[in-house]
A = this chain, B = another copy of it.
Amino acid sequence: MFSPLIEDLIRALRCLPGVGPKSAQRMAMYLLEKDRDAAGLLAATLELAVQKIGRCGLCRTLTEEDVCSLCNNSRRDEKSLCVVETPADVLAIEQAGNYHGRYFVLHGHLSPIDGVGPADLGIDLLERRLADEPVGELIIATNPTVEGEATAQFIAERARACGVAVSRIAHGVPIGGELEYIDGGTLAHAFNSRTAFYTGG
């Protein structure tokens, strides 16, 4: 119904997550009708980003520099190293604002069925950092999923072999959450991982 090039554009826009045929069509029409300057800028920025953005040589997060600004920041505590699955997790933790150490981004989790092994997650680089840097504590913040837990276990054992203290972030009822609406798995975990208020006797 549309001309071939418009159809191509609609198809290309569908590569974006959460964008179906109707949204893609609406986006294409909007860009072509209302905001060609923004469309041109998006095209140029996207091309540049695909070309230039790689991984930080230390923490593997996405950056166009050799070493990212977090790793380059000498005021960050080099005694703490936090392992996360994705660069978006780094952002989430930074926005929470109470962690001031360094990061290591796995870009995924162990998943033998998809052929993702330790080498794909840069575990060798992580071990090198644990050996070379004065890391006192490795905080594992992978997702509390089956794969995330398996990855956490694997990394914890490797870190123990390097003689580094390892911790896992707490999982349980979210702050501000109401018990009534929390799923059973989380609630069971919250009971099993309860902390002592005071020990009677």
List residues of chain A with CB under 8 Å of any chain B CB.
1-6, 8-9, 12-13, 15-18, 23, 25-33, 35-36, 38-50, 52-53, 62-65, 68-69, 86-88, 90-91, 94-95, 107
Instruction: Report yes or no: B86 in contact with A29, Cβ–Cβ below 8 A.
Output: yes
Can you list the 9 inter-chain pairs with the closest CB atoms, starting with the nearest? A15-B38, A43-B46, A43-B47, A12-B45, A3-B63, A12-B42, A5-B64, A9-B49, A17-B30
Q: Which of B36, B41, B95 contacts A12 (CB 8 A)?
A: B41
A37 to chain B, nearest CB (A): 9
Complex copy number for this chain? 2
Report the minimal beta-carbon distance from A46 to chain B, rounded to whole angstroms.
4
In the bound complex, do residue A5 and residue B46 qualify as a contact, i.e. CB atoms below 8 Å apart? Answer: no
Q: Tell me whether B47 and A40 are in contact (CB under 8 A).
A: yes
12 new A-B contacts at CB < 8 Å, known A18-B27, A31-B46 = A3-B53, A3-B64, A9-B46, A9-B49, A12-B46, A15-B35, A16-B16, A16-B30, A16-B31, A29-B88, A33-B107, A43-B47
